[in-house]
Amino acid sequence: MALPPIKTVGVIGTGVIGASWTALFLAKGLKVIVTDPAPGADARLRDHLLKHWPSIPNAKVTQDEYLNNFKFVKEIDAYLGDVDLIQENGPERLDFKRSLFAHLDANTPEHVLIASSSSGLPSSEFITECNKNPARILIGHPFNPPHLVPLVEVVPHQGTGDAYVTAALQFYRSLGKDPVLVKKETPGFIANRLQAAVCAEAYSLVARGIVSAEDLDKTMTSGLGLRWALTGPIMTNTLGGGGDFNHFMDHLGPALKTWLDDMHRHEFDVNSQDVDVLKERVNEWTSQTNLKEIEESRNKRLAGMIKSKSEDYV
Amino acid sequence: MALPPIKTVGVIGTGVIGASWTALFLAKGLKVIVTDPAPGADARLRDHLLKHWPSIPNAKVTQDEYLNNFKFVKEIDAYLGDVDLIQENGPERLDFKRSLFAHLDANTPEHVLIASSSSGLPSSEFITECNKNPARILIGHPFNPPHLVPLVEVVPHQGTGDAYVTAALQFYRSLGKDPVLVKKETPGFIANRLQAAVCAEAYSLVARGIVSAEDLDKTMTSGLGLRWALTGPIMTNTLGGGGDFNHFMDHLGPALKTWLDDMHRHEFDVNSQDVDVLKERVNEWTSQTNLKEIEESRNKRLAGMIKSKSEDYV
C-alpha cells in the first residue's frame, strides 16, 4: 500500500517542539495547518518562525513563502480532511493524549498518518480509545530543536502498519532528517536510554568527588563527544578493533566488565542525599558561567556542525 | 615548589600513542629524546611524524624543525639527565611497568615529572618499587590520537605531589590540550567509564533487537553526539532545565529512574551468548560498509572539528 504524497501537514501544539517542527515543514516547502489552544500562541509561533529561519539547513522556499504557507486555526477539526500527515506535540499526559488521539483518529481520513512527538509515552498507551485506524499511529520523536538536529526516533506500536512505518521514515528523510527505527517500544526509546546511562555515571563521579562537574563535562566535549559526533559507539569500537568488532569485544570485554562492576558498586541513587551533593557541586560551577552565552554559542556551533556535515554528504 | 620549564621530553615507546605524542611535542617546539626497543621503530616513527604533520593544530615550528628536533636512541639511560619530563607509552602489563618505573625513577633526576599514558593501570599499582621520588609519577592518559584530541586525563596516585599535578596540567595546557584532573584513582578513570556506560546499553539494545546496529550509531551521530561535542552531560542538563540543574533533576529524576531500572532488567552480560548475537548483528552492518573510508573521513572531520573549536576560542 503506497500512501499519497505528503503536501500538507497538520501540527497540533506549538510549544518549543511544535513551533520548531512547523519551521522545518514550512522551510521544506510544505503547507502547514497549525493549532494551539494557548492564548497568544499564534503570535509566539510567528516569533519562533522568524527566529529559526536563518539556521534551517537547505531551505527550499523563500523567506516570504516560509512565513506565509501556514494557517493558524483555533479549531483544527474543519481542516482534518485537508492534511496528509499530523505531527502532534501536546502535553505528555496520558489522559490528555488518550482523548486527543481518540478524537484525531475518529475525525481524520483513515489513511492519514498520525505521528506523536512524545518523548516518553509509547503510543500503545494512548491509542486505547482509537477505533477507526490505530494502525496509522506511531511516535516520531525529534531531538530538540527539531528544525536543526537530524535525529528522529520512529517508534511504532505493535499494531502500527508497516506501510505507515515506511511512510514515516520516508517523510522524515525527505525533510533532511536522519530517522532511526525503534523496532519495539522500550522506556526512553534509544536516545534517552543512552543519555541516562551517561548521566547516571556522570552524576556518580561528580557526587563522589572523583572529578569536578566542569572536568566531567570537559571529558565529553574535548574527548568522547568529538568522536561520537562522527562515529557512534558500535563503529567507534569496530575501528578501535582495527576494523573488527569481534576482536574489540574479545580484547576489551574483560576490561569493560571490570569497569561496569565498579560502576554498579558506586551507582548513583536519584532518591538519596547524593542528589543534594551533586546539585551543590554542579551549582558551584554553573553559577560561575554565563549560561546565556554558553547556550547561544552552543546553538550557533550546533547549526554550523550540522550544516558542514550535511554539505559533505551532498 | 615551581618546577623548571619543560624544554626536552623523553618519550618511552613509539607505538601509535607514543608516536602521536612525539608528533605533538615536536610541533609545539619541544626537543624530544625517544626510544623504543622494537626492530624498525625508528623508521616507523618517521613515517608517523610525516603523516601527522598536516593535521596538527597550531604548530609552532616549521616542518623541517619538526622533523629534526628529536633524537631516536636505542638506550635512553645516558639521556635521562637531559630531559625535563618523561611521557611513558609502554605495554599495559603490570610487571613490565613496575620494573620500567623502578628503573626510570632510580635513573632520572629527582625533580623530573614522569607521566604514564596508561589507559587502565593506575600508577599506585606500578610505583611499588620506586624508592627515589614516586611523588613525581602520575598518569597522563591521552585520548587517541593524542596529537589531535584535546582530552588528557591526569590521574595522580595518593602520594603524587601537588606541585607535580599542577605542573602536568600546565604542561598539557601549554600544548593546547584540555586536561582534566581525576582526583582519586578509579577503574577506567572518567572517559572509559562514560564510554562503558553507553556501550553496555548500546550492546543490550542491539542484541535485544530493539534497534539495528546502524540505527543505534545514528542515534549518537545525528543526535546525542552532536550535542555532546559542544556541551557535556551536566551543562546539557542545566540548559535543559532552563539554566537550572536543580530544576532539571527534580523534574527529570523520576523518568531517569524508570529508564535506569528498565536498563538494569535488560543488562548486557559480556559473558553470555548475547555477545554472539551482538557480534552477528554488528558484522551484518559493518561488512557492508567501507571501513577504511569511514575511518579516513572520521579522522579528517575530527581534525576539522577540533581546529574550528580551537580557532573560535583563540
pLDDT digits (tens, 9 = 90+) for A52-99: 999 888 899 999 999 999 999 999 999 999 999 999 999 999 999 999
Are A217 and B231 a contacting pair at CB < 8 A? yes
pLDDT of residue B313: 47
Q: Which of A184, A218, A270 sits opposite B180 (nearest CB)?
A: A218
C-alpha cell at B302: 575530527
CATH code 3.40.50.720 for A8-181: yes
Are B196 and A239 a contacting pair at CB < 8 A? no
Query: Which of chain A's residues have a Cβ under 8 Å away from the Cβ of B169?
Result: none
Torsion of CA B303, B308, B309, B313, to 10 degrees: 140
- Catalytic annotation, pick one of B153, B185, B201, B280: B153
Are B263 and A150 a contacting pair at CB < 8 A? no
Query: Which of chain A's residues have a Cβ under 8 Å away from the Cβ of B238?
Result: 282, 286, 291
Q: Which of A245, A286, A302 sits opposite B279 (nearest CB)?
A: A245
Q: Which of B232, B291, B301 sits opposite A218 (nearest CB)?
A: B232
Best mutation target, A230, A236, A280, A292, to test chain B (most B CBs within 10 A): A230
Are A286 and B238 a contacting pair at CB < 8 A? yes
Chain A to chain B Cβ contacts (< 8 Å): 335
Minimal CA separation from B41 to chain A, in Å: 20
Minimal CA separation from B35 to chain A, in Å: 25
Minimal CA separation from A141 to chain B, in Å: 12
pLDDT band, very low/low/confident/very high, at A252 (cuts 50, 70, 90): confident
pLDDT band, very low/low/confident/very high, at B1 (cuts 50, 70, 90): low
Q: For residue range A107-139, list pLDDT tens digits in order.
A: 999 999 999 999 989 999 999 999 999 999 999
Q: For residue range B99-118, list pLDDT tens digits in order.
A: 999 999 999 999 999 999 99
Strand partners, B151: B178
C-alpha cell at B145: 590520537
In the structure, how many helices (H) and strands (E) does chain A have?
12, 8
Say if residue B92 is exposed, middle or buried (CB neighbours under 10 Å; 0-12, 13-18, 19+): middle
Are B216 and A225 a contacting pair at CB < 8 A? no
Separation between Cα atoms, residue A57 and residue A177, nearest integer Å: 10
Are B194 and A202 a contacting pair at CB < 8 A? yes
Specify the CATH architecture of the domain A190-312.
Orthogonal Bundle (1.10)
Query: Which of chain A's residues have a Cβ under 8 Å away from the Cβ of B149?
Result: 222-223, 226-227
Best mutation target, A190, A266, A310, to test chain B (most B CBs within 10 A): A190
Minimal CA separation from A271 to chain B, in Å: 8
Sign of torsion, CA A27 A30 A36 A42?
A: positive
Active-site amino acid positions of A? 153
Q: For residue range A208-234, list pLDDT tens digits in order.
A: 999 999 999 999 999 999 999 999 999
Task: Kindly identify which residue of chain A lies nearest to residue B239, measuring between CA atoms.
Answer: A295
CB A92 within 8 A of CB A68: no
Separation between Cα atoms, residue A86 and residue A111, nearest integer Å: 11
Q: Which of A202, A235, A258 sits opposite B233 (nearest CB)?
A: A202
Separation between Cα atoms, residue B27 and residue B61, nearest integer Å: 6
Largest CA distance in chain A: 62
Q: For residue range B181-234, list pLDDT tens digits in order.
A: 999 999 999 999 999 999 999 999 999 999 999 999 999 999 999 999 999 999
Higher pLDDT, A299 or A163: A163
Are A224 and B298 a contacting pair at CB < 8 A? no
CB A180 within 8 A of CB B206: no
Minimal CA separation from B92 to chain A, in Å: 12
What φ, ψ does residue A231 adopt, rounded to 5°?
-130, 135
Separation between Cα atoms, residue B114 and residue B168, nearest integer Å: 9
Are A226 and B229 a contacting pair at CB < 8 A? yes
Task: Kindly identify which residue of chain B lies nearest to residue A242, measuring between CA atoms.
Answer: B291
Q: Which of A200, A216, A279 sits opposite B190 (nearest CB)?
A: A216
pLDDT of residue A308: 79
Separation between Cα atoms, residue B56 and residue A210, nearest integer Å: 31
Say if residue A248 is exposed, middle or buried (CB neighbours under 10 Å; 0-12, 13-18, 19+): buried
pLDDT of residue A2: 67
pLDDT of residue B314: 36
Are A196 and B263 a contacting pair at CB < 8 A? yes
pLDDT band, very low/low/confident/very high, at B2 (cuts 50, 70, 90): low
Best mutation target, A93, A139, A169, A198, to test chain B (most B CBs within 10 A): A198
**Averaged over A11-15, what is the pLDDT?**
96
Best mutation target, A149, A217, A283, to test chain B (most B CBs within 10 A): A217
Q: Which of A205, A216, A302 sits opposite B226 (nearest CB)?
A: A302
User: What is the reported pTM?
Assistant: 0.94
Hey, where are the domains in chain A?
Answer: 8-181, 190-312
pLDDT at residue B20 greater than cutoff 60: yes
C-alpha cell at B43: 623508521
**Averaged over B45-61, what is the pLDDT?**
93
Are B191 and A294 a contacting pair at CB < 8 A? no
Minimal CA separation from A36 to chain B, in Å: 22
DSSP state of A31: E
Are B306 and A226 a contacting pair at CB < 8 A? yes
Q: Which of A180, A237, A285 sits opposite B215 (nearest CB)?
A: A180
Minimal CA separation from B184 to chain A, in Å: 5
Are B223 and A191 a contacting pair at CB < 8 A? yes
Are B260 and A200 a contacting pair at CB < 8 A? yes
pLDDT of residue B312: 58
Task: Kindly identify which residue of chain A lies nearest to residue B275, measuring between CA atoms.
Answer: A249
pLDDT of residue B300: 87
